[in-house]
Chains A and B, each alone.
Chain A
Amino acid sequence: MRPKDIALIALFAALTCTLGLTPLIPLPLIGATFALQTLGMLLAGGILGARRATASMALVIALVAIGLPVLTGGQGGLGKLVGPTAGFIWSWPIGACLTGLMIQHWWEKLTPARAFVAAIIGSVSLYVLGHSWLAFSLHVPWSVAWWSWVVYLPGDIVKSLLAAVVIVTVKKAYPLITPRTRAAS
């Protein structure tokens, strides 16, 4: 891992935090809001590749853990990492890794559609760990917790579309992933 990789890892952690500063965007149809922070996760995966993206999201968790208010709405601290919604935060490295792996796989022939598939898989992977922990920590039947993903889905589709466009644009202007080798380490 070269110094430049450290800079990139820090950059996407910072980007994820910055996206948390933007106000929540209300979705008029279903009355739920969606936070932009997972967009940072998708972009990290699609632009840095799996290895650096995973490290980048782990760095975000470290920033939360050391008590910085970097989560959406100025939240932070260890409380967020053990609370009912902690599963979603802990699964960011996993989601970033999945998206990164798929983008790396398709790198030579990346299309916006493929980037979208990679992003949506990264987003949906959060549901598994996020809702499992939610159900466990709140003692809610799994079926109930599991259905709450429906609320998040429209937001995740929008974010994945956005991520796909940005990933493809940045690939043309500033490619960072080297295919078939271990992500330039």
Chain B
Amino acid sequence: MLSLYVPGDSLIHRTPAWLKLLVLCVCGTAVMIIPSPVALAVGLALVVVSYAVAGIGVRVVWRASRAILVFVVVITAFQWLFSSWALALVVGERILFLVAAANLLTVTTTMSDLIATVESLLTPFARWGVRPDRAGIAIALALRFIPTLVEQGALIREAQAARGVKAPFTYLAPLIIRALRMADGVGEALEARGLGAAPVRPLGATGPDPGATDPPAIAHPPTDKE
């Protein structure tokens, strides 16, 4: 699966992900509150400048915003007809700003940085049993499962077609049952590699391991491989 990340070495690429997220949250909130079309236009211009600084090409912007542009045009027309042109302008500008600014973060931040940010954002939820260190593993597993599911789904559909099954979606139940068996195996494999109760220790951590239970030799698998 291809990430939407666009490689680069600009100032915006080098800004830490958490800072970009913070700026996005603050600006996003401000944009939802500010009712002035002029101020919003300035904000939009700043976003455009940021895109230029990040060196993001027009083609990337077009690909990311194609879907939303239709929305903006329709809703602006709607607001123009039913309320006022000022409101139409404000609403259109707000959506464009939010989506463009958020997409800028997406295209200038690597997936690993974003995963690390997601993990740290999950830390407060630890008291409800959420394990932030598991988020990265879950993301990697999900990405690995996608092509497998596509493949298995195609196989089952082919087998059913050979037997003359024509009804749509009859492949879903067998696909899920097969996938659940597979998940069982994956769960066992994870357990065998020491992903039990102990927190996953970062590679290269020194000192005694508080989470070590059984043979410590298999307690820390290379986390970059499944």
Contact = CB atoms under 8 A, between A and B. Distances in A.
Interface string A4-25: 1111111101110110010000
Interface stretch (B7-15, B50-58, B64-72, B209-217): B64-72
Interface string A75-91: 11111011111000000
Interface residues of B, number: 71
B46 interface: no
Interface stretch (A104-112, A124-132, A134-142): A134-142
A169 B173 contact: yes
A175 B79 CA distance: 51
Q: Which of A7, A10, A14, A162 has the most CB of B within 10 A?
A: A7
Contacts of B191: 2-4
Contacts of B142: 10-11, 13-14, 17, 59, 63
Contacts of A55: 130
Interface residues of A, number: 53
A11 B134 contact: no
A154 interface: no
Contacts of A7: 141, 183-184, 186-187, 190
B118 to A, nearest CB: 5
Nearest to B4: A67
Given A4-B184, A66-B115, A18 B98 contact: no
B9 to A, nearest CB: 18
B38 interface: no
Given A9-B138, A84-B75, A67 B95 contact: no
A67 B188 contact: no
Nearest to B118: A62
B200 to A, nearest CB: 11
A8 B190 CA distance: 12
B102 A14 contact: no
A32 interface: no
A147 interface: no
Given A21-B150, A75-B67, A14 B145 contact: yes
Interface in A37-85: 43, 47, 55, 59, 62-63, 65-70, 73, 75-79, 81-85
15 contacts: A3-B187, A7-B187, A10-B145, A11-B182, A18-B150, A66-B114, A69-B2, A70-B146, A79-B65, A79-B102, A83-B99, A137-B95, A138-B91, A174-B180, A176-B180
The 3 A-B residue pairs with the shortest CB-CB distance, nearest first, are: A4-B187, A14-B145, A10-B141
Interface of B: 1-5, 24, 28, 32, 64-65, 67-68, 71, 75, 78-79, 83, 87, 90-91, 94-95, 98-100, 102-103, 105-107, 109, 111, 114-115, 118, 129-131, 134-135, 137-139, 141-146, 148-150, 153, 169, 172-173, 176-177, 179-184, 186-188, 190-191, 195-196
